[in-house]
Amino acid sequence: MLILAQGQQFFALQVDRLVTEQESVIKPFGSALTPPPYAYGCTVLGDGSLIPVIDGQAFLDDLVNRPLADITPGSAEEALAAISTQAHRGGAPVQATLSQATTVLVVDDAVTSRRTLALSLERAGYRVLQAPRRPRCPGTVAAKPRRAAGGLRHRNAQYERL
């Protein structure tokens, strides 16, 4: 638990783990993601883990000042329908449905690109396997043959369904 104070109030924030204080290079999220106002960007640890860097006070201000309607949880189907409607104003909303969690293999040498795409796919309901380089790719699929139901292949900056 990380305890943050704002005025006379204290807030507890659950964190998975704390990384020791260290100097790090913060890279912006890029155009693929629209970060919240409290997010500075990401840093890459020595093991390749992508760690978001946030301003704790700005995060707390955003959380405290957010209208309650924005925090109320809803179902994933409602969220997908709302996003779909907003993205396709003027046309018929696109309904995204998955009968089972389809497994997708993401292969890219660039850790930031690979993790950004994996995060986007996970949020869309896919189960994601990652391989940093092409030679590891066949071993990843062979190790989990029953789960690898689908994938994406990168060709000329377009993603196509396998």
pLDDT given at position 54: 82
Whether the predicted pLDDT of 80 surpasses 60: no
pLDDT given at position 68: 59
pLDDT given at position 15: 75
35 token code pair: 């970060």
Alpha helices in 35-157 (DSSP H): 56-65, 68-71, 76-87, 111-123, 137-143
Q: Has residue 18 been placed in a domain?
A: yes
This prediction has a pTM of 0.37
Q: Has residue 29 been placed in a domain?
A: yes
94-150: pLDDT as tens digits = 444 444 567 777 777 777 777 887 787 777 777 778 776 655 445 544 444 443 344
Residue 113 φ then ψ, to 5°: -65, -45
Q: Has residue 16 been placed in a domain?
A: yes
Please state, in angstroms and rounded to a whole number, the distance separating the CA atoms of residues 47 and 67: 38
What distances in angstroms separate CA 39 from CA 7, 31, 45, 80, 122, one per listed residue?
A: 22, 14, 17, 24, 20
27-31, 47-51, 74-78, 142-146: least confident range: 142-146
C-beta separation of 140 from 105 below 8 A: yes
Task: Say whether both 60 and 9 belong to one domain.
Answer: yes
pLDDT given at position 74: 55
pLDDT class for 3, splitting at 50, 70, 90?
Answer: confident
Cα Rg, the chain, nearest whole Å: 19
Q: Has residue 14 been placed in a domain?
A: yes
Domain that holds residue 14: 2-65
Q: Has residue 27 been placed in a domain?
A: yes
- State the total domains in the chain: 2
The residue among 14, 17, 15, 4 whose CA lies nearest residue 45 is 17
